[in-house]
A and B are shown apart, each in its own frame.
Chain A
Amino acid sequence: MRQLMMGCVAAGASEFGFTDFTYTGTYTWVQDTLTNWRLKFLTSGIFTPRKSVSIDAFLLGGGAGGGNSNGGNATPGGGGAGGRTGQLNSVALNAGVSYVITIGAGGPNHAGGGNTSFVGGSLNGAVAGGSAIVSGQEYRGTNGGSGGGSATSGAGGADGNDGASGDKAAGGTGQHTTTREFGEAGATLYGGGGGGGGGQYSYIANGGSGGAGGGANGGYGYNSVQNGFSAAANTGGGGGGAGTRQGVGATGGWGGSGILIIRNKRG
């Protein structure tokens, strides 16, 4: 039910397999090797293992939305930050216990992303999404996993770094630790910051680039004002800031939802 197999499973080769649990939301089972597996929870739900198992968990909050632009003073919107990341190591999950999983939603324009959590029995783990834009400071990139880029046209941060500054403000602050899956070099990158929006003149018209790991680009400004772009689901990327020109405002893009990934305990 609702699983996407990516690889083959040899019967009896793994202590915990894809038939050893139920989940009420959507997920993807990944069989990395005969004995190593990962389970990616894409939407919120209830997880119940049929066997006890020891796991590591990687949590990613939802990305923040990008800022609206203000056509009244031709100020573009800042980029939303990526979702924050966290990790739980050597967690014992007990057979028959129901674990509640929330996957943080991506934030709308101005707003922060939702929190991703993994709660049940004695387990209580959570990480926050990217932060909301401060009212009246829509031009600023926000803080989170990787910082959003500020207006005008600042690039979103990646891999836990700050967003780039624009002419309006300093970029948003990142978490300053890697946002890669399980913190491992070469693993999938999540939680990139959104780019700041483009401005009213042709030489500053392009929106800032979204940070690697799902950050969305800022919207174009000048003669073809765009909304900020939205980040893809389950990336935790920040939404892009809106572009502008004098008299024309637009809305920031949505952040991307987060993800929870568990795997058999390794190392």
Chain B
Amino acid sequence: MDEPTNYALIDESGTVNNIIWLCIANKDDFPNAICVADRPVAIGDVYTDGVFTRDGAVVPTYEEQQAALEAQ
């Protein structure tokens, strides 16, 4: 079986209501699951048109966050 990764469960309003540990092999068990891989999406974020946002801003990837912090 493939390595598990993080998936966001999206409710009817587009809000992330859980982040679960899931393998792609049985991803179809959760039709409302969207793979977030290493993007630091959290419960309460919003998913619209394929993009995760938090407080109106796109959730940056882990690498983008790290680059910004290293530049401080």
> Could you tell me which A residues sit within 8 Å of B by CB distance?
2, 24-26, 42-46, 62, 65, 68-72, 100, 102-115, 117, 132, 227, 233, 242, 247-251, 257-258
Contacts and interface: CB of A to CB of B under 8 A. Distances in A.
Interface of B is mostly: mixed
Contacts of A103: 20-22
Contact of B26 (A24, A69, A258): A24
B29 A108 contact: no
Given A100-B29, A104-B19, 6 more contacts: A25-B29, A46-B29, A103-B22, A110-B42, A114-B43, A242-B69
Contact of A233 (B4, B42, B69): B4
B70 A114 contact: no
Given A72-B72, A109-B65, A251-B69, A43 B21 contact: yes
B46 interface: no
A161 to B, nearest CB: 25
Contact of B42 (A2, A108, A250): A108
B66 interface: yes
B23 A25 contact: yes
B21 A44 contact: yes
Contact of A45 (B26, B39, B62, B72): B26
A107 B42 contact: yes
Q: Which of A102, A105, A109, A115 has the most CB of B within 10 A?
A: A105
Given A2-B1, A24-B26, A109-B40, A257 B72 contact: no
Contacts of B40: 65, 108-111
B56 to A, nearest CB: 14
Nearest to A70: B72
Interface in B37-57: 38-43
A26 B1 contact: yes
Given A104-B21, A107-B42, A111-B40, A68 B1 contact: no
Nearest to B44: A132
B24 to A, nearest CB: 10
Contacts of B70: 248-250
5 contacts: A24-B26, A43-B23, A71-B69, A108-B62, A109-B65
A214 to B, nearest CB: 14
Given A43-B4, A65-B40, A107 B72 contact: no
Nearest to A246: B72
B52 to A, nearest CB: 12
A258 B22 CA distance: 11
Contact of A68 (B26, B38, B69): B69
Contacts of B30: 44, 102
Given A108-B41, A227-B66, A250-B69, A102 B20 contact: yes
B26 to A, nearest CB: 4
B15 interface: no
A26 B20 CA distance: 13
A44 B62 CA distance: 24
Contacts of B65: 68, 109, 251
Contacts of A249: 69-70, 72
Contacts of B4: 26, 42-43, 233, 257
